[in-house]
Amino acid sequence: MSKGSGDGGVVFHAGFPNAAEDEKFGSLSLDSLVVQRRASTFFWHLENEVPELLWPSGSILVVDRSLQLAEGSVVVAVYADEFVLTRFHNKKPYRLNGSLVDGEITIWGVVTYCLQKVS
What dotted CATH number matches 29-115? 2.10.109.10
Query: 88: which strand partners?
Result: 93
Domain ranges of the chain: 29-115
Query: 77: which strand partners?
Result: 84, 107
The dihedral built from the CA positions of residue 29, 34, 40 and 44, taken in this order, carries a sign that is negative
Task: Please tell me the predicted confidence (pLDDT) of residue 20.
Answer: 64
Query: 94: which strand partners?
Result: 87, 100
Mean pLDDT of 100-104: 92
State the pTM of this model: 0.74
Above 50 in pLDDT, residue 1?
no
How many whole angstroms separate alpha carbon 41 and alpha carbon 109?
Answer: 9
> What SS3 class is residue 35?
coil
Amino acid at 116: Q
43-76 pLDDT, tens digit per residue, is 999 999 999 999 999 999 999 999 999 999 999 9
How many whole angstroms separate alpha carbon 64 and alpha carbon 31?
Answer: 13
pLDDT band at 2 (very low <50, low <70, confident <90, very high): very low
